Amino acid sequence: MVIAIIAILAALLLPALAKAREKARTITCTNNLKQIALGALMYADDNHETCINYFSWDATGNVYYRWEPHLFPYLRSVVSTRCPSDDAMTLSGPADPYHYYGGYGYNYYYCAFAPLAVFKCPSDTVMFCDVGRQDATGGYPYRSAHCNNPNYMTYAYITRPDFRHNRFAGVSLQDGHVQAYSYGAFYPRTVYEGGTWVGGTGADGMWDRN
């Protein structure tokens, strides 16, 4: 009888505990995206009002398609470049020295190496967001450091938004503020359906410079 009561109580409490844990992870993710956004703006302030590029290189000249190294000097900890709700074991491939960081994708197509002056509505332009696995044939398991805009069809090594926080994705905007978005205006043209990306054409909404 006692065991049965305990089992019933556990069944009632476990979902609530899981939601509470995810809420805590969501708060951490929001703080991470805020630090990343502010770091990116500080970088721009130190570099002629120009946004970070979508690639970086090491001392020997090796090129890595990662934005994170540009911001390491501006972040409290490199841990802030990883979403706590992202359960990927490998984020960009084992050969990449930055593969332990990731889970956040850069709107590289519109933001990379762009002057701040080109953004007509910074508060409505995506800079970084939660991303899922790489967009490639065969279900490539790794994460990319970049995110495709809605207009793009399947493109290997680039990711799409991941709505992993109770069906919401954390998003940092070009003006530095952070907001949670679900499907719709945030990503209106492309949906993730059973491992296949289905794309469309048209304006990129929150992803372009307008």
Report the share of the chain in percent with pLDDT over 90. 32
pTM: 0.82
CA gyration radius for the chain? 18
Burial of 28 (0-12, 13-18, 19+ CB in 10 A): middle
Q: What is the pLDDT of residue 45?
A: 97
pLDDT band at 191 (very low <50, low <70, confident <90, very high): very low
Sequence-distant (≥ 6) Cβ neighbours of residue 61 within 8 angstroms: none
Q: Hey, is 110 helix, strand or coil? A: helix
Q: What is the pLDDT of residues 73-126, one digit of tens each?
A: 999 887 888 888 887 655 555 556 666 567 899 999 999 999 999 999 999 999
- Every domain of the chain and the residues it spans: 17-207
Cα–Cα distance, 48 to 20 (Å, whole number): 43
